[in-house]
Structure 1
Amino acid sequence: MAKYHALIEWEASATDDVPGGKYGRGHRWTFDENVSVPASSSKHVVPLPWSVEAAVDPEEALVASASSCHMLTFLYLAAKAGYAVQSYRDAAVGTMAKGDDGRVQITGVELSPDIEWQGAAPDAATLEQLHHDAHDQCFIANSVKFPIEVTK
């Protein structure tokens, strides 16, 4: 159907001690149309100063991807059902812990969308169904093994 490309680039500095584990984890993600994002390991995984606090880490990018996919699918389904969303804000949270297999992994993502509507909002049952259908049709949710739950 489609292929998605990302260029990931990292280079050691002259002062890095790579064999000793003392090297910067800052790197760059470059996507289509040369959109470039500073990236790094999470400070929760590799302590500062070896991580870059002002950069996106893979774990938070995964949480953002799950939230973004759910939102985009939700917006499409809501519009198709005749509801107009004015704004959508989600303070998504991912949890990293040991999984059932003993390996550290993202074990779940909680979505907490705050939605403002133009005109009439769907009733609670319809809203729940829209979220259910958005989850069911989201490409990212269909690609990961951890649960993604809407909590709001």
Structure 2
Amino acid sequence: MSTEQHRYRLTVTWTGNRGSGTSSYRDYGRDHIIAAAGKPDIPGSSDLAFRGDAARWNPEDLLVASVSACHKLWYLHFCSVNAIVVERYEDAAEGVMVMDKDGGGRFTAIALKPKIWISSGDAELALKLHHDAHEKCFIANSVNFPIGCEAEILQA
């Protein structure tokens, strides 16, 4: 078995200095910019619950989005090689994070709830391919909590 390595480089630049740095917990913003060469910037912050900006992406949003997007990409691949024509795919993904009394925390689960509209192919196989997508998903294979999938196959 060969191992192929891929590297992902980006920068995260804090933009929340309001003039006095981190002189106190309430005096600085949590805003940052996620940037990578050749890609649009992503405005980031912390969750509103942690003094962040609700209009910006937070790390928790991005983790759930990464799991959902990776699963979708593998799923579409498996559909394409199994003669299933997907016309539309929407996932209402949700992650659960629990906080410890000391302020730390962790994700305990992510639930994927994709609705997939197909115009041709075996609907039963289309449903089963979610298992294969989960098995191959790079992000799912990198986390230490369960990821469930409640898929619905619809006719386009």
Structure 1 residue 98 displacement after superposition: 4.6
**Structure 2 match to 1:54:** 55
Most deviating of 26-35 and 66-75:
26-35
- Report the CA distance between 1:128 and its aligned residue: 3.8
Runs of 4+ in structure 1 off by over 6 angstroms are none
Indicate the SS of the match to 1:35: coil
Aligned to 1:134: 133
Residue 144 of structure 1 corresponds to 143
Unaligned runs of 5+ in 2: 152-156
* Match in the other structure for 2:106: 105
1:37 aligned partner:
42
The answer to whether the Cα contact below 8 Å between 1:98 and 1:107 also exists between their aligned partners in 2 is no
Amino acid corresponding to residue 33 of structure 2 in structure 1: R
Matched residue count: 143
Pair 1:4 & 2:8 matched = yes
Shift of 1:150: 0.4
Contact 2:83 2:121 in 1 (8 A): no
In percent, how many aligned pairs have the same letter? 34
Whether contact under 8 Å (1:83, 1:120) holds in the other structure is: yes
Amino acid at match of 1:18: T
SS at match of 2:110: strand
Q: Indicate if the aligned counterparts of 2:84 and 2:126 stay in contact, CA closer than 8 A.
A: no
Deviation at 1:104, TM superposition (A): 1.1
CA RMSD of aligned residues (A): 1.8
CA displacement at 1:103 relative to structure 2: 5.0
Specify whether residues 76 and 55 from structure 1 end up closer, same or farther in structure 2 by C-alpha distance, changes over 3 A only: same
Q: For residue 17 of structure 1, report the CA deviation from its aligned partner.
A: 5.7
- The TM-score with structure 2 as length reference comes to 0.85
Alpha-carbon separation, structure 2, partners of 1:131 and 1:7: 33
Match of 1:93 in 2: 94
- Contact (CA 8 Å) 1:89, 1:114: kept in 2 or not? yes
